[in-house]
Amino acid sequence: MLDNLTDKFQTIFKKIKNKGKLNENDIKNCLHEIRIALLEADVNYKVVKEFINNLHEKIQQEKISESLSPAQQIIKIVNGEITLILGSKQSELSISPAPPTIIMLVGLQGTGKTTTAVKLANYFRKKGHSPLLIATDIYRPAAIEQLQVLGEKSDLPVFSIGKNESAVNIVKAAISFSSKKSYDVLIIDTAGRLHIDNKLMNELQEIDENITLQEKLLIVDAMAGQDAVNSAKVFCDKIKVSGIILTKLDGDTRGGVALSLKKVLGIPIKFIGIGEKVDNFEPFYPERMASRILGMGDVLTLIEKVETAYNRDELKKLDEKMKNHNFDLNDFYLQLKKMKDIGSVDQIMDMVPGFNNLKNRIDVTKLGDRKGELKKIEAIISSMTVEERENPSIINGRRRKRISRGSGTQLSEINRLLKQFYQIKEMFKKGTGLKNFSCN
């Protein structure tokens, strides 16, 4: 997520840290490099111009060139300004005091709207709500079927009545249905187009005029760049969008759209999609995202993810093993299963301060993510003796061949597993244990 921009900020900050005290020319060069980094990340030009002007003004006000720790002061100011651009604070969803809460998702075709509808429903379910997905895309071939399949995979209910009714009538029928079944959150998956046209907008406006909506959320593809900002303006003007869900932030994207949307549109980003899985979805916190962009980690989000995967006793036991250097292959396998619930190792390391550079040097970014990988790891570990699992250092060439035969895997896979085990063990040793992740 925004790795290229993070790397550039890290390089810029390293330069000023090495200088110690800064003169006016150092500060000017630093601002120039930040400006270039933002423009190369595809941040809106006007946003960049205002950002740099504000930075320069605050640096002057703080008299950074006279400070004893100018680098830290500049980083603090940059962090604050990025947080402001992203929206200052989290913007929560509006929940109706009298259920159901009705949320309409809108956006162009291909932005991930249907997948996002399922992710949002899953998010509400984990919060204790009873969500219902409503299929109103009667135009795109197999659109209704796609939502039904995705809903079934995640055990989420989907309401549809075929393609002979208008979108408004489908929503009205769903509201009536929900009152009988006690669904308290209704999520409308609307039709999209490859481009904005009057038919699309008229349909969305008709729903908006006839249904009491708590939220109108625009789905924006982070990989679309500034084109996404331009199309988003039309949706905001026509149906008064209340919030944005930014998808595909895990993709190969420069990420500038994330830094442009709130400032250009005046509409808050409420959620981000960071992967294909239904759980790769989280509320958007401007201050946390700013911290991630600057390579300072996001410990609060990591703590929240850890607390959903572990109970207090499990955390305490694991922390003790880490402290006493007793982390073995049995623990390794159990933690891989837990990590799949938290996120990929790559995502986790993005949230840990100081680990952003470390992840580029170790081969764990796909650990446990490949199809069938956990089953293969389980077969390998099951083919080891108790002594080998508890003390992997004794696994020599002869033992590796025996384990390979017993698990039906290649020697290279045994070697890779052991390498990954030692890398994970080293990663935790460089951290501070898990004492900061205890459930209070």
What residue ranges do the domains of the chain occupy?
3-86, 101-291, 300-437
Q: Which residues does residue 284 pair with via DSSP β-bridges, in sequence order? A: none
Amino acid 213: pLDDT: 95
Q: Which CATH architecture has domain 300-437?
A: Orthogonal Bundle (1.10)
CB atoms within 10 A of CB 348: 19
Pairing of strands 281-283, 215-221: unpaired
CATH 1.20.120.140 for the 3-86 domain, yes or no:
yes
Amino acid 362: pLDDT: 47
Q: ∠ CA 111-117-119 to the nearest 5 degrees?
A: 100
Handedness of CA 180, 186, 188, 189 (dihedral sign): negative
Handedness of CA 80, 217, 211, 187 (dihedral sign): negative
DSSP code per residue over 230-270: HHHHHHHHHH---EEEEE-TTSS---HHHHHHHHHH---EE
Distances (CA, A) of 196 to 58, 113, 201, 236: 41, 15, 8, 12
Alpha helices in 62-112 (DSSP H): 70-86
The domain covering 101-291 belongs, at the CATH homologous superfamily level, to P-loop containing nucleotide triphosphate hydrolases (3.40.50.300)
Amino acid 194: pLDDT: 74
- List the strands of the sheet with 269-273, edge to edge: 158-159, 131-135, 185-189, 101-106, 215-221, 243-247, 269-273, 281-283
Which residue positions in the chain have pLDDT lower than 50?
298-299, 358, 361-371, 432-440
Question: Closest by alpha carbon to 215, among 346, 66, 84, 92?
Answer: 92
Cα 27 to the center of its chain, rounded Å? 33
Alpha helices in 324-370 (DSSP H): 329-342, 345-351
Amino acid 231: pLDDT: 83
Taking the whole predicted model, whether its pTM rises above 0.75 is answered as no
Q: What is the pLDDT of residues 34-85, one digit of tens each?
A: 999 999 888 889 999 999 999 999 888 877 655 557 777 888 888 889 999 9
